[in-house]
Structure 1
Amino acid sequence: MPSRRRSAVTCSRSPLRCSGRSTGWSSTAWINRSPGGAGGVKGSRLTGDRERIAVLLGFDGVIEHTRDAMRHGLIGLVGTAASPVTTPTKLAEDLEIWSSSEFGYVRLADRHTRSSVLMPQKRNPYALTMVRGEAGILIGRLTGMLAISRSPRPPRRAVTT
Protein backbone atom coordinates (compact mmCIF):
# COMPACT_ATOMS: atom_id res chain seq x y z
CA MET A 1 0.00 0.00 0.00
CA PRO A 2 2.59 2.60 -0.95
CA SER A 3 -0.04 5.07 -2.13
CA ARG A 4 -1.65 5.20 1.34
CA ARG A 5 1.71 5.68 3.00
CA ARG A 6 2.64 8.42 0.57
CA SER A 7 -0.72 10.09 1.14
CA ALA A 8 -0.24 10.02 4.91
CA VAL A 9 3.22 11.57 4.59
CA THR A 10 1.89 14.26 2.24
CA CYS A 11 -0.97 15.10 4.61
CA SER A 12 1.31 15.33 7.62
CA ARG A 13 3.78 17.63 5.88
CA SER A 14 1.14 19.83 4.27
CA PRO A 15 0.52 22.07 7.33
CA LEU A 16 4.26 22.63 7.66
CA ARG A 17 4.52 23.70 4.01
CA CYS A 18 1.48 25.98 4.39
CA SER A 19 2.86 27.62 7.52
CA GLY A 20 6.19 28.18 5.79
CA ARG A 21 4.39 29.80 2.89
CA SER A 22 2.47 32.16 5.13
CA THR A 23 5.43 33.23 7.25
CA GLY A 24 8.48 33.50 5.05
CA TRP A 25 7.62 32.53 1.50
CA SER A 26 6.60 35.63 -0.39
CA SER A 27 4.07 35.29 -3.16
CA THR A 28 6.76 35.81 -5.81
CA ALA A 29 9.59 33.72 -4.30
CA TRP A 30 8.48 30.66 -6.27
CA ILE A 31 8.75 32.41 -9.66
CA ASN A 32 12.48 31.79 -10.16
CA ARG A 33 12.36 28.21 -8.94
CA SER A 34 12.29 25.27 -11.30
CA PRO A 35 9.12 23.17 -11.46
CA GLY A 36 11.08 20.50 -13.35
CA GLY A 37 10.07 17.00 -12.30
CA ALA A 38 6.72 18.12 -10.94
CA GLY A 39 4.22 15.88 -12.69
CA GLY A 40 0.46 16.08 -12.23
CA VAL A 41 0.01 14.77 -8.69
CA LYS A 42 2.74 12.30 -7.82
CA GLY A 43 5.77 13.81 -9.49
CA SER A 44 7.69 12.32 -12.38
CA ARG A 45 10.00 9.35 -12.82
CA LEU A 46 11.96 11.16 -15.54
CA THR A 47 13.69 13.71 -13.35
CA GLY A 48 17.36 12.99 -12.86
CA ASP A 49 19.14 15.50 -10.62
CA ARG A 50 16.56 18.27 -10.25
CA GLU A 51 18.91 20.72 -8.50
CA ARG A 52 21.59 20.43 -11.17
CA ILE A 53 19.08 20.84 -13.99
CA ALA A 54 17.64 23.92 -12.24
CA VAL A 55 21.10 25.50 -11.94
CA LEU A 56 21.90 24.76 -15.59
CA LEU A 57 18.64 26.39 -16.66
CA GLY A 58 19.35 29.50 -14.55
CA PHE A 59 16.86 28.97 -11.72
CA ASP A 60 17.62 29.81 -8.07
CA GLY A 61 16.50 26.37 -6.94
CA VAL A 62 13.70 23.84 -7.24
CA ILE A 63 10.16 23.83 -5.96
CA GLU A 64 10.24 20.99 -3.47
CA HIS A 65 6.70 19.68 -3.58
CA THR A 66 4.65 18.85 -6.66
CA ARG A 67 1.54 20.62 -5.41
CA ASP A 68 3.51 23.78 -4.71
CA ALA A 69 4.79 23.73 -8.28
CA MET A 70 1.37 23.08 -9.74
CA ARG A 71 -0.90 25.49 -7.91
CA HIS A 72 0.12 27.11 -4.65
CA GLY A 73 2.38 29.79 -6.11
CA LEU A 74 -0.34 30.91 -8.49
CA ILE A 75 -2.93 30.86 -5.71
CA GLY A 76 -0.73 33.14 -3.62
CA LEU A 77 -0.16 35.48 -6.53
CA VAL A 78 -3.86 35.72 -7.43
CA GLY A 79 -4.74 36.10 -3.73
CA THR A 80 -2.25 38.92 -3.40
CA ALA A 81 -3.79 40.62 -6.44
CA ALA A 82 -7.39 40.04 -5.30
CA SER A 83 -6.93 41.37 -1.80
CA PRO A 84 -6.38 45.07 -2.58
CA VAL A 85 -9.20 45.23 -5.15
CA THR A 86 -11.84 44.67 -2.50
CA THR A 87 -11.52 48.23 -1.14
CA PRO A 88 -12.13 50.00 -4.48
CA THR A 89 -15.01 47.59 -5.06
CA LYS A 90 -16.66 48.63 -1.81
CA LEU A 91 -16.09 52.30 -2.64
CA ALA A 92 -17.56 51.82 -6.13
CA GLU A 93 -20.62 50.15 -4.64
CA ASP A 94 -21.10 53.00 -2.16
CA LEU A 95 -20.68 55.64 -4.88
CA GLU A 96 -23.15 53.78 -7.09
CA ILE A 97 -25.76 53.82 -4.33
CA TRP A 98 -25.03 57.45 -3.36
CA SER A 99 -25.35 58.59 -6.98
CA SER A 100 -28.75 56.95 -7.41
CA SER A 101 -31.90 59.06 -7.62
CA GLU A 102 -33.01 57.71 -4.24
CA PHE A 103 -30.00 59.24 -2.47
CA GLY A 104 -28.53 61.89 -4.75
CA TYR A 105 -25.50 62.53 -2.53
CA VAL A 106 -23.01 62.29 -5.41
CA ARG A 107 -23.23 63.36 -9.04
CA LEU A 108 -20.94 61.53 -11.42
CA ALA A 109 -19.46 63.29 -14.43
CA ASP A 110 -21.01 62.40 -17.77
CA ARG A 111 -17.79 60.77 -18.99
CA HIS A 112 -18.17 58.15 -16.21
CA THR A 113 -21.79 57.32 -17.01
CA ARG A 114 -23.81 55.96 -19.92
CA SER A 115 -27.42 56.45 -20.83
CA SER A 116 -29.82 53.65 -20.11
CA VAL A 117 -30.98 51.52 -23.04
CA LEU A 118 -34.60 51.58 -21.89
CA MET A 119 -34.65 55.13 -20.47
CA PRO A 120 -32.27 57.45 -22.36
CA GLN A 121 -32.75 60.28 -19.83
CA LYS A 122 -31.37 58.06 -17.04
CA ARG A 123 -27.60 57.93 -16.51
CA ASN A 124 -26.07 54.62 -15.34
CA PRO A 125 -22.72 54.64 -13.47
CA TYR A 126 -20.93 52.49 -16.04
CA ALA A 127 -17.38 53.08 -14.74
CA LEU A 128 -18.36 52.00 -11.23
CA THR A 129 -20.05 48.89 -12.60
CA MET A 130 -16.86 48.01 -14.47
CA VAL A 131 -14.75 48.36 -11.30
CA ARG A 132 -17.12 46.05 -9.42
CA GLY A 133 -17.32 43.57 -12.29
CA GLU A 134 -13.58 43.27 -12.90
CA ALA A 135 -12.88 42.83 -9.20
CA GLY A 136 -15.57 40.16 -9.08
CA ILE A 137 -13.88 38.27 -11.90
CA LEU A 138 -10.54 38.30 -10.08
CA ILE A 139 -12.14 37.16 -6.83
CA GLY A 140 -14.00 34.46 -8.76
CA ARG A 141 -10.75 33.20 -10.31
CA LEU A 142 -9.19 32.98 -6.86
CA THR A 143 -12.19 31.05 -5.55
CA GLY A 144 -12.00 28.66 -8.48
CA MET A 145 -8.29 28.07 -7.96
CA LEU A 146 -8.87 27.38 -4.27
CA ALA A 147 -11.65 24.93 -5.14
CA ILE A 148 -9.51 22.90 -7.53
CA SER A 149 -6.49 22.80 -5.23
CA ARG A 150 -8.12 20.15 -3.05
CA SER A 151 -6.61 16.68 -3.12
CA PRO A 152 -7.82 14.63 -6.05
CA ARG A 153 -9.41 11.51 -4.67
CA PRO A 154 -11.23 8.72 -6.44
CA PRO A 155 -14.97 8.54 -5.80
CA ARG A 156 -16.01 6.36 -2.90
CA ARG A 157 -17.46 3.04 -3.89
CA ALA A 158 -20.20 1.23 -2.09
CA VAL A 159 -18.94 -1.71 -0.10
CA THR A 160 -20.79 -4.87 -1.01
CA THR A 161 -20.65 -7.98 1.09
Structure 2
Amino acid sequence: SGTEFLLTDTVGFIQKLPTMLVAAFRATLEEISESSIIVHLVDISHALAQQQIGAVDKVLKELDIDSVPKLVVWNKIDNANNPLRVKEEAEKQGIICISAMNGDGLEEFCNAIQAKLKDSMVPIEAFVPYDKGDLLNDIHKVGMVEKTVSVLFAHWKQNSNSFF
Protein backbone atom coordinates (compact mmCIF):
# COMPACT_ATOMS: atom_id res chain seq x y z
CA SER A 1 0.00 0.00 0.00
CA GLY A 2 3.02 2.27 0.09
CA THR A 3 3.16 2.37 3.87
CA GLU A 4 6.73 2.36 5.13
CA PHE A 5 7.91 0.07 7.90
CA LEU A 6 11.20 -1.14 9.31
CA LEU A 7 12.06 -4.79 8.80
CA THR A 8 14.93 -6.16 10.85
CA ASP A 9 16.54 -9.52 10.23
CA THR A 10 17.91 -11.42 13.21
CA VAL A 11 20.51 -14.12 13.28
CA GLY A 12 19.26 -17.55 12.28
CA PHE A 13 18.50 -20.12 14.92
CA ILE A 14 21.10 -22.79 15.42
CA GLN A 15 20.23 -25.90 17.34
CA LYS A 16 22.67 -27.06 19.99
CA LEU A 17 24.33 -23.67 20.19
CA PRO A 18 27.55 -23.74 22.26
CA THR A 19 26.89 -22.56 25.83
CA MET A 20 29.26 -19.60 25.51
CA LEU A 21 27.23 -18.18 22.64
CA VAL A 22 23.78 -18.66 24.14
CA ALA A 23 23.83 -15.41 26.19
CA ALA A 24 25.07 -13.33 23.25
CA PHE A 25 22.51 -14.98 20.98
CA ARG A 26 19.66 -14.18 23.37
CA ALA A 27 20.82 -10.57 23.70
CA THR A 28 20.35 -10.08 19.96
CA LEU A 29 16.78 -11.35 20.28
CA GLU A 30 15.64 -9.34 23.29
CA GLU A 31 14.67 -6.42 21.08
CA ILE A 32 11.96 -8.63 19.59
CA SER A 33 9.71 -7.58 22.48
CA GLU A 34 9.66 -4.07 20.96
CA SER A 35 8.48 -5.37 17.59
CA SER A 36 5.07 -4.82 16.05
CA ILE A 37 5.17 -8.22 14.39
CA ILE A 38 7.43 -11.27 14.24
CA VAL A 39 7.87 -12.87 10.84
CA HIS A 40 9.14 -16.41 11.31
CA LEU A 41 10.64 -17.29 7.94
CA VAL A 42 11.24 -21.01 7.46
CA ASP A 43 13.14 -22.79 4.70
CA ILE A 44 10.44 -25.41 4.27
CA SER A 45 12.56 -27.39 1.81
CA HIS A 46 15.20 -28.08 4.49
CA ALA A 47 15.22 -31.64 5.82
CA LEU A 48 15.16 -30.39 9.43
CA ALA A 49 12.55 -27.66 8.92
CA GLN A 50 10.17 -28.99 11.57
CA GLN A 51 12.95 -29.27 14.17
CA GLN A 52 14.07 -25.74 13.34
CA ILE A 53 10.49 -24.49 13.77
CA GLY A 54 10.40 -26.18 17.16
CA ALA A 55 13.70 -24.57 18.18
CA VAL A 56 12.44 -21.10 17.24
CA ASP A 57 9.12 -21.62 19.02
CA LYS A 58 10.98 -22.75 22.15
CA VAL A 59 13.22 -19.66 22.22
CA LEU A 60 10.29 -17.31 21.54
CA LYS A 61 8.35 -18.92 24.39
CA GLU A 62 11.34 -18.51 26.72
CA LEU A 63 11.57 -14.82 25.75
CA ASP A 64 7.92 -14.48 26.87
CA ILE A 65 6.77 -12.40 23.91
CA ASP A 66 3.37 -13.92 23.32
CA SER A 67 1.89 -10.42 23.02
CA VAL A 68 3.78 -9.75 19.76
CA PRO A 69 1.77 -10.92 16.73
CA LYS A 70 3.51 -13.63 14.74
CA LEU A 71 3.34 -14.49 11.05
CA VAL A 72 4.82 -17.79 9.92
CA VAL A 73 6.10 -17.88 6.35
CA TRP A 74 7.35 -20.96 4.57
CA ASN A 75 9.94 -19.98 1.96
CA LYS A 76 11.40 -22.08 -0.85
CA ILE A 77 8.04 -23.71 -1.47
CA ASP A 78 9.24 -24.33 -5.03
CA ASN A 79 11.99 -26.62 -3.63
CA ALA A 80 9.69 -28.68 -1.40
CA ASN A 81 9.20 -32.36 -2.23
CA ASN A 82 5.47 -31.95 -2.79
CA PRO A 83 4.68 -28.21 -3.09
CA LEU A 84 0.93 -28.72 -3.48
CA ARG A 85 0.64 -30.85 -0.33
CA VAL A 86 2.86 -28.42 1.60
CA LYS A 87 0.69 -25.47 0.50
CA GLU A 88 -2.47 -27.29 1.59
CA GLU A 89 -0.96 -28.01 5.02
CA ALA A 90 0.18 -24.39 5.35
CA GLU A 91 -3.27 -23.08 4.48
CA LYS A 92 -4.83 -25.22 7.23
CA GLN A 93 -2.45 -23.63 9.74
CA GLY A 94 -2.74 -20.04 8.48
CA ILE A 95 0.83 -20.08 7.19
CA ILE A 96 1.92 -18.09 4.13
CA CYS A 97 3.92 -19.91 1.44
CA ILE A 98 6.35 -18.00 -0.74
CA SER A 99 9.20 -18.47 -3.13
CA ALA A 100 11.64 -15.60 -2.85
CA MET A 101 13.33 -17.01 -5.95
CA ASN A 102 10.36 -16.71 -8.33
CA GLY A 103 8.10 -14.33 -6.39
CA ASP A 104 5.22 -16.73 -5.74
CA GLY A 105 3.16 -15.70 -2.72
CA LEU A 106 4.92 -12.37 -2.15
CA GLU A 107 1.74 -10.33 -2.65
CA GLU A 108 -0.09 -12.52 -0.13
CA PHE A 109 2.88 -12.12 2.24
CA CYS A 110 2.80 -8.31 1.96
CA ASN A 111 -0.98 -8.27 2.48
CA ALA A 112 -0.63 -10.48 5.57
CA ILE A 113 1.99 -8.15 7.06
CA GLN A 114 -0.19 -5.14 6.36
CA ALA A 115 -3.20 -6.81 7.98
CA LYS A 116 -1.19 -7.82 11.09
CA LEU A 117 0.24 -4.32 11.44
CA LYS A 118 -3.18 -2.75 11.02
CA ASP A 119 -4.59 -5.06 13.71
CA SER A 120 -1.95 -3.82 16.15
CA MET A 121 -2.72 -0.14 15.61
CA VAL A 122 -4.70 1.88 18.09
CA PRO A 123 -7.38 4.21 16.71
CA ILE A 124 -7.11 7.83 17.75
CA GLU A 125 -8.82 11.07 16.90
CA ALA A 126 -6.73 14.19 16.69
CA PHE A 127 -7.50 17.87 16.31
CA VAL A 128 -4.73 19.61 14.41
CA PRO A 129 -4.93 23.41 14.30
CA TYR A 130 -4.40 24.98 10.89
CA ASP A 131 -1.18 26.63 12.06
CA LYS A 132 0.21 23.16 12.87
CA GLY A 133 -0.70 21.66 9.49
CA ASP A 134 2.86 20.33 9.06
CA LEU A 135 1.99 17.72 11.70
CA LEU A 136 -0.41 16.11 9.23
CA ASN A 137 2.53 14.97 7.13
CA ASP A 138 4.09 13.29 10.19
CA ILE A 139 0.80 11.64 11.10
CA HIS A 140 0.51 10.21 7.59
CA LYS A 141 4.06 8.85 7.85
CA VAL A 142 3.62 7.01 11.15
CA GLY A 143 -0.02 5.98 10.96
CA MET A 144 -2.83 4.99 8.69
CA VAL A 145 -5.20 7.92 8.26
CA GLU A 146 -8.73 6.71 7.65
CA LYS A 147 -10.29 10.14 7.13
CA THR A 148 -9.66 13.81 7.59
CA VAL A 149 -12.26 16.47 8.25
CA SER A 150 -11.67 20.17 7.89
CA VAL A 151 -13.53 22.30 10.35
CA LEU A 152 -13.65 26.07 10.23
CA PHE A 153 -14.28 27.72 13.54
CA ALA A 154 -15.39 31.29 13.13
CA HIS A 155 -16.45 33.84 15.65
CA TRP A 156 -18.62 36.81 14.81
CA LYS A 157 -17.18 40.01 16.20
CA GLN A 158 -19.87 42.08 17.92
CA ASN A 159 -20.65 45.40 16.33
CA SER A 160 -18.77 44.38 13.19
CA ASN A 161 -19.51 42.76 9.88
CA SER A 162 -16.45 40.50 9.90
CA PHE A 163 -15.30 37.14 11.14
CA PHE A 164 -12.10 36.66 13.06
Provide the TM-score with structure 2 as the length reference.
0.29
Q: Which structure's residues are more often helix, by fraction?
A: 1
